[in-house]
């Protein structure tokens, strides 16, 4: 049974169909990336899965349960943790307090220990007592990932984790994410703009174009797919 | 100095106050302590949820009128009457909190104000029970339970108020430092993120508003027993405004700051109102000055002074 299943998910904004009858699955332990040009509907898809937006049609099934239309916090309680495209942290709290609050949502008694572990995983331990808004942009993004894994999710959803990072920061973030994902045996759904990042991290790729799935498969196959090259890669590679 | 030591010191000094000041000053001090409790209760909403309640007089008025009616009609012992008044206030606060927390920002402020004004209007609508503009007068301080009567005198009542204030402070302090308080910090910093971590933030806000009404109701109930009467002005928006100003000037989100703000204003009002009628003008100017130049409030100023020394 797939861990996450989107069945015919559709969301319209006025005349624009941002996500159009999308079928997609994430298997347990799979790292799946969703790619597509700007405006392809990636972030909308994320918001539909996490119930931030309600779909016009279709459903989201998580671990066999239909979670469509659940309140946002209930989706999180079911075991889906996410990061946001625009970094969402608690700026005035220390890095540790940020992660502790995330851990507390699932395990209040061991929250402190889980938080320290998560900081360690993302190599943020030395910043633990710093106010989160004092961290570099790259470390803030990693902090948000640390918060997500401290929730001990069954599905981790990362929305463009390297957006706005410099080349070096991106390399570092990818290394850290890769080590973490390999160690954690996590199921991951990843939206990413940077093709290099996607090919380094993902087992499988879903390609969105104008709200529709135009390809789905292993990185090599997707890379070779003619329609994808036309729509997204622009034949430039 | 650890906070326990500081707390013990403040409590110890407070115990000696009745023997160090003239009797008539004790009246002002009790009024100031009651208002401190009231301001601290509002801080739970303003300082910890960053929701600006413009109708906290509702909590004060509810507590005061409930206590007034219970004590005059049921003749229950004072502590039990006050406790019952707090319970009734909490019960009424639940639907109010449920409605108000549907919104934030200005709408939250307006909704809380609306409920307080509704309470104010009801006092005149149900004149037979509430006494209308006359209020409830001649509220007794019945003795008991177990024949306790030390709170009937002026000094005894001071100790009752002091115990309620210190006890409430300890409870509030424990609340804001608990896991529950950590979630409130999250709501204050970034509510959307807090929701996405799996917290039902609305439930947390409702709980906080209800708690705040409970402590505010306690302050109101203590006031009824202290003054011996309850008048409609307790429900009036000026009361809400005053206490909000005390919270902001004292330093929101610190519990202690709003208490200092209340003490500051009650004593200043007492001193200045003997000299001039322009007291509200001074009140307003101080408020403006603090918002513009010392947004961290009195406590922030003290801490800065302390850190510099």
**pLDDT for A7:** 92
Our CA dihedral for B52, B185, A94, B175, rounded to 10 degrees, sits at 120
Its ipTM equals 0.88
**Closest listed residue to residue A129, CA positions, set A83, A167, A157, A98:** A98
* Bridge partners of residue A35, in order along the sequence: A207
CA distance B115 to B112: 5
Task: Judge: B198–A106 Cβ closer than 8 Å, yes or no.
Answer: yes
Read off the pLDDT of each residue in A183-203 and give the average, rounded to a whole number. Answer: 82
Task: Judge: B179–A111 Cβ closer than 8 Å, yes or no.
Answer: yes
> Which residues in B lie closer than 8 A to residue A62 (C-beta atoms)?
none
Q: What is the pLDDT of residues B165-205, one digit of tens each?
A: 999 999 999 999 999 999 999 999 999 999 999 999 999 99
Please, which residues 141-180 of chain B have a Cβ atom closer than 8 Å to chain A? 179
What are the sequence ranges of the domains in chain B? 23-235
Half-sphere exposure of B142 (CA within 13 A, CB side): 19
The pairing of strands A204-209 and A31-35 is parallel
Instruction: State whether residue A27 is helix, strand or coil.
Output: coil
Half-sphere exposure of B303 (CA within 13 A, CB side): 12
Which residues of chain B are under the pLDDT cut of 50? none
Nearest CA distance, A91 vs chain B (angstrom): 7
Q: What is the pLDDT of residues B252-286, one digit of tens each?
A: 999 999 999 999 989 888 888 888 888 888 888 88
> Which residues in A lie closer than 8 A to residue B190 (C-beta atoms)?
88-91
The DSSP element (H or E) to which B278 belongs, if any, is none
Read off the pLDDT of each residue in A147-155 and give the average, rounded to a whole number. Answer: 91
Q: Which stretches does DSSP call E strand in chain B?
A: 136-137, 229-230
Omega before B145 cis (within 30°)?
A: yes
**pLDDT for B43:** 95
Q: Where are the alpha helices (DSSP H) in B140-200?
A: 154-177, 179-196
Whether residue B202 lies within 8 A of chain A, CB to CB, comes out as no
In chain A, the domains with their CATH numbers are 1-77+194-237 (3.40.50.300)
> Could you tell me the pLDDT band of residue A37, with boundaries at 50, 70 and 90?
confident
Q: Where are the alpha helices (DSSP H) in B197-278?
A: 201-227, 237-250, 256-273
> Which residues in A lie closer than 8 A to residue B179 (C-beta atoms)?
104, 108, 111
Asked whether the predicted pLDDT for residue A237 surpasses 60, the reply is: no
């Amino acid at each position: 049974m797939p861990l996450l299943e989107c069945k015919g998910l559709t969301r319209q904004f006025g005349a624009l169909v941002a996500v159009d009858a999308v079928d997609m699955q994430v298997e347990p332990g799979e790292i799946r990336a969703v790619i597509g040009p700007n405006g392809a509907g990636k972030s909308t898809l994320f918001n539909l899965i996490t119930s931030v937006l309600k779909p016009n049609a279709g459903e989201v099934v998580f671990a066999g349960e239909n979670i469509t239309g659940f309140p946002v916090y209930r989706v999180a309680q079911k075991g889906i943790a996410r990061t946001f495209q625009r970094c969402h942290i608690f700026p005035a709290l220390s890095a540790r307090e940020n992660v502790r609050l995330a851990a507390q949502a699932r395990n209040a008694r061991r929250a402190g220990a889980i938080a320290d572990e998560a900081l360690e995983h993302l190599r943020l331990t030395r910043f633990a007592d710093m106010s989160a808004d004092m961290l570099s942009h790259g470390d803030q993004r990693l902090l948000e990932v640390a918060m997500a894994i401290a929730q001990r999710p069954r599905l981790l959803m990362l929305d463009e984790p390297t957006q706005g990072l410099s080349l070096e920061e991106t390399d570092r973030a990818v290394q850290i994410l890769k080590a973490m994902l390999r160690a954690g045996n996590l199921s991951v759904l990843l939206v990413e703009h940077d093709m290099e990042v996607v090919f380094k991290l993902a087992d499988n790729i879903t390609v969105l174009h104008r709200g529709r799935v135009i390809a789905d498969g292993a990185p090599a196959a997707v890379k070779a797919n003619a329609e994808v090259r036309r729509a997204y890669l622009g034949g430039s590679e | 100095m650890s906070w326990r030591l500081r707390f013990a010191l403040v409590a110890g000094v407070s115990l000696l106050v009745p023997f160090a000041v003239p009797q008539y000053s004790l009246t002002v001090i009790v009024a100031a302590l009651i208002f401190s409790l009231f301001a601290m209760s509002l801080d739970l909403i303003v300082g910890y949820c960053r929701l600006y309640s413009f109708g906290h007089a509702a909590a004060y008025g509810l507590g005061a009128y409930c206590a007034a009616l219970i004590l005059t009609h049921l003749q229950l012992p004072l502590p039990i009457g006050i406790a019952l008044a707090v319970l009734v206030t909490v019960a009424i606060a639940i639907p109010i909190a449920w409605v108000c927390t549907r919104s934030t920002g200005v709408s939250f402020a307006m909704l809380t104000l609306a409920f307080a004004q509704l309470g104010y209007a009801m006092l005149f609508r149900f004149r037979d029970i509430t006494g209308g503009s006359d209020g409830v007068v001649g509220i007794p301080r019945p003795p008991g339970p177990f024949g306790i009567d030390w709170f009937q005198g002026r000094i005894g009542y001071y100790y009752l108020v002091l115990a309620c204030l210190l006890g409430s402070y300890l409870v509030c302090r424990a609340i804001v430092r608990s896991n529950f308080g950590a979630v409130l910090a999250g709501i204050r910093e970034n509510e959307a993120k807090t929701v996405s971590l799996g917290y039902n933030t609305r439930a947390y806000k409702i709980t906080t508003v209800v708690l705040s009404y409970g402590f505010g109701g306690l302050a109101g109930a203590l006031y009824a027993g202290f003054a011996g009467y309850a008048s409609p002005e307790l429900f009036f928006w000026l009361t809400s405004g005053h206490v909000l100003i005390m919270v902001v000037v004292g330093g929101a989100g610190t519990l202690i700051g709003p208490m200092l703000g209340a003490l500051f204003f009650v004593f200043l009002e007492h001193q200045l109102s003997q000299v001039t009628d322009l007291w509200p003008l001074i009140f307003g100017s101080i408020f403006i000055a603090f918002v513009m130049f010392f947004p961290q409030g009195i406590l922030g100023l003290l801490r800065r002074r302390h850190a510099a020394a």
